């Protein structure tokens, strides 16, 4: 009787121990999110032309800089910002073989060097008509 009890209990003990160990590894707390808001820049990826990267550089009123870049062919870029408020910066195209081409398309499809944005909600969408 004792050997039957040991035979039945040992796989259960091993399984319970294994699930406990694996559950402790899987149940890790998520890392805290440092950004309060996100700027999502979108454009038509078919209008990109030669392969290059689009870069968004933003500076808040205190002077803290946030930047992000992505290949133009993806058509979207997300920039995490630390707080709500106004930001100034620039949007430009950059290729490894060429110097940077500064420019910031606006709604009028003109090229400007600076961007002025107000981030007043958790997700702000900005549609760029023509990428630089």
Q: What are the structural domains, with CATH classification, of the chain?
A: 37-127 (2.60.40)
Low-confidence winner among 24-28, 75-79, 93-97 (lowest mean pLDDT): 24-28
* Band of pLDDT at residue 104, cut at 50, 70 and 90: very low
DSSP track, 78-126? EEEESSSEEEEEEEEEE-TTS--EE-EE-TT--EES-EEEEE-SSEEEE
* Band of pLDDT at residue 106, cut at 50, 70 and 90: very low
Q: Please determine, for residue 121, whether its predicted confidence score (pLDDT) is greater than 50.
A: yes
Q: What is the pTM of this model?
A: 0.60
Span 70-76, average pLDDT: 88
CA 100 → CA 37, 54, 93, 97, distances in Å? Answer: 28, 10, 6, 10
What is the residue-averaged pLDDT of the chain?
Answer: 75
Q: Please determine, for residue 67, whether its predicted confidence score (pLDDT) is greater than 50.
A: yes
Q: Please determine, for residue 132, whether its predicted confidence score (pLDDT) is greater than 60.
A: no
Span 89-95, average pLDDT: 81
d(CA 45, CA 33): 29
């Amino acid at each position: 009787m004792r050997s039957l009890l040991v035979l039945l209990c040992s796989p259960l003990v091993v399984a319970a121990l294994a699930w406990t160990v694996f559950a402790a590894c899987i149940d890790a707390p998520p890392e805290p999110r440092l950004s309060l808001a996100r700027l999502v820049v979108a454009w038509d990826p078919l209008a990109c032309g030669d392969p290059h990267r689009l870069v968004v550089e933003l500076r808040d009123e205190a002077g803290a800089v946030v930047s992000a870049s992505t290949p133009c062919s993806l058509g979207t870029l997300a920039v995490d910002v630390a707080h709500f408020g106004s930001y100034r910066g620039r949007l430009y195209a950059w290729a490894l073989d060429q110097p940077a081409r500064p420019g910031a398309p606006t709604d009028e499809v003109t090229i400007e060097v600076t961007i002025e944005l107000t981030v007043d909600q958790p997700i702000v969408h900005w549609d760029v008509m023509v990428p630089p």
